[in-house]
């Protein structure tokens, strides 16, 4: 049975990198039945459509969603981010954002970013907007259930890893309400996983360690906004954002999960054949793995080993595809 994949190429370099990802997965033996969804900033500019509820319902029928990048400078900030990407994450309950990193020295670690709450929930608003007495608030929503399911996922993942090591990253010294909830939940869940070694870092300190001593990490679990920032840093230390892959998972499988490179639409280099497709290819590998196609996923991942971290799209694609056909011999 082919995997039914909804493809949202999106804006900028999105379609370019997704097309390579699909070629590579197919060359590695993946049986994919894809349907293109014309969504993104370009579509909004065409007819005002972002992600209608009917389209969201259609997406539910797929095994997974593969997304390139969305967002374009002509559309005001937030319209596509909130209306498409966050809407999909929230409505499909993609509560785990998994972002693995491989450092140049071979050290591997993974960040689990809570993906449905925190400041991203959108709580807040304006009072007296545009006046001298303007007030803007932006709250952070943290539920026990939301923190717990994410932390529990972290313990499960750490338990499956070599060192069985899990670090909670937060800012408990200042965020004394949400940080307290996260820390208490972490400590309570830890009791159920006595074989997992735990650590805690404030997010600012974690930024230093990500650069200076990343080998201390194996699995990191953190809130939505900290995870957003920390994973860009992770991408930078792991050889550039052009290599950073991610999975937005609904581990309960009550809806399709969404796989996307961490990078954005990069309008400055779109259409020039300069985008690095590796992050999209590796996101494809994460998708295949989540769909149970573990061997194909491994072939795709292995084919990205030793690939140059920059260069024309075509050249990188050819090198990855070359590795696939070599591996097949």
Whose CB is nearest to ligand IPM?
A: 81
> Is 120 among the residues known to form the active site?
yes
Nearer residue to ligand IPM within complex by CB, 179 or 227? 227
Q: For residue 263, which of 279, 239, 248 has the smallest C-alpha distance? A: 279
Using CB under 6 A as the binding rule, the residues of this chain from 250 to 279 that contact ligand IPM are: 262
Is 204 marked active-site? yes
Neighbours of 37 (CB within 10 A): 18
Euclidean distance between CA atoms 291 and 239, whole angstroms? 27
Q: Residues 171, 217, 223, 293: which is the catalytic one?
A: 171
Query: What is the CA 301 to chain-centroid distance, rounded?
Result: 17
Does 228 qualify as catalytic in the annotation? Answer: yes
Give the separation between CA 5 and CA 64, rounded to whole angstroms. 5
35-74 residues in contact with ligand IPM (CB under 6 A) are 71
Toward ligand IPM, which CB reaches closer, 40 or 299?
Answer: 40
Question: Active-site residue 153, yes or no?
Answer: no
Residue 228 binds to ligand IPM (criterion: CB under 6 A): yes
Name the nearest CA neighbour of 109 among 231, 272, 291.
231
User: Exactly one of 59, 65, 85, 151 binds ligand IPM (CB under 6 A); which one?
Assistant: 85
User: In angstroms, rounded to a whole number, what is the distance separating the alpha carbons of residues 251 and 145?
Assistant: 14
Residues 199-228 within binding reach of Mn ion (CB under 5 A): 228
CB atoms within 10 A of CB 170: 24
d(CA 88, CA 196): 32
Q: How far from the centroid of its chain's Cα atoms is residue 19's Cα?
A: 19
Q: Which entry of 63, 93, 228, 293 is annotated as an active-site residue?
A: 228
- Of 247, 254, 216, 214, the residue nearest 230 (C-alpha): 214
Tell me the backbone φ, ψ of residue 48, rounded to 5 degrees. 80, 5
The nearest distance, CB 118 to Mn ion, in angstroms, is 13
Span 187-226, contacts to ligand IPM by CB under 6 A:
none
Q: Which residue has the tokens 């595809």?
A: 321
Sign of the alpha-carbon torsion through 155, 301, 207, 113: negative
Smallest gap from Cβ 232 to Mn ion, in A, equals 6
**Closest among 54, 10, 65 to 32, alpha carbons compared:** 65
Residue 263 CB, nearest distance to Mn ion (Å)? Answer: 9
Strands 108-114 and 96-102: antiparallel
Min separation Cβ 228 and ligand IPM, Å: 4
Q: Which is nearer to ligand IPM, 81 or 183 (CB)?
A: 81
When CB distances are held under 5 to 8 angstroms depending on the partner's kind, the choice from Mn ion, ligand IPM, none that residue 277 binds is none
* Partner that binds at residue 85, options Mn ion, ligand IPM, none, CB closer than 5 to 8 Å by kind: ligand IPM
Nearer to Mn ion, 99 or 299 (CB): 99
What is the Cα–Cα distance from 172 to 61, expressed in whole angstroms?
Answer: 40
Closer residue to ligand IPM in complex, CB, 85/285 = 85
Smallest distance from the beta carbon of 36 to ligand IPM, in angstroms?
A: 21
Closest CB to Mn ion among residues 114, 228: 228
- Cβ 67 to ligand IPM shortest distance, Å: 10
Task: Catalogue the active-site residues.
Answer: 120, 171, 204, 228, 232
Interface contacts to Mn ion, rule CB under 5 A: 228
Interface contacts to ligand IPM, rule CB under 6 A: 71, 81, 85, 228, 262
């Amino acid at each position: 049975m082919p995997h039914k994949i909804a493809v949202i190429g999106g804006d900028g370099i999105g379609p370019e990198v997704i097309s390579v990802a699909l070629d590579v997965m197919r060359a590695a033996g993946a049986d994919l039945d894809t349907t293109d969804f014309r969504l993104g900033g370009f579509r909004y500019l065409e007819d005002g459509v972002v992600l209608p509820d009917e389209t969201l319902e259609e997406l539910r029928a797929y095994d997974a969603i593969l997304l390139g990048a969305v967002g374009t400078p002509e559309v005001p900030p937030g319209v596509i981010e909130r209306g498409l990407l966050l809407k999909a994450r929230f409505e499909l309950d993609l509560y785990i954002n998994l972002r693995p990193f491989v450092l140049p020295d071979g050290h591997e670690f993974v960040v689990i970013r809570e993906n449905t709450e925190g400041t991203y929930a959108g709580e807040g608003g304006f009072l007296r907007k545009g006046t001298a007495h303007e007030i803007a608030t932006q709250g952070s929503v943290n539920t026990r259930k939301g923190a717990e399911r994410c932390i529990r996922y972290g313990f499960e993942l750490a338990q499956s890893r070599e060192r069985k090591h899990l670090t909670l990253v937060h800012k408990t010294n200042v965020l004394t309400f949400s940080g307290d909830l996260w820390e208490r939940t972490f400590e309570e869940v830890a009791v159920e996983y006595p074989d997992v070694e735990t650590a805690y870092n404030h997010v600012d300190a974690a930024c230093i360690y990500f650069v200076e001593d990343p080998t201390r990490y194996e699995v990191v679990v953190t809130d939505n906004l900290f995870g957003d920032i920390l994973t860009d840093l992770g991408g930078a230390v792991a050889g550039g954002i052009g290599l950073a892959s991610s999975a937005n998972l609904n581990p309960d499988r009550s809806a399709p999960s969404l796989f996307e490179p961490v990078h954005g639409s990069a309008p400055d280099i779109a259409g020039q054949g300069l985008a690095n497709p590796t992050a999209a290819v590796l996101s494809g590998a994460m998708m295949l793995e989540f769909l149970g196609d573990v061997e194909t996923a491994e072939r795709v991942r292995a084919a990205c080993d030793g690939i140059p971290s920059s260069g024309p799209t075509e050249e990188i694609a050819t090198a990855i595809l070359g590795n696939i056909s070599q591996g097949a011999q």
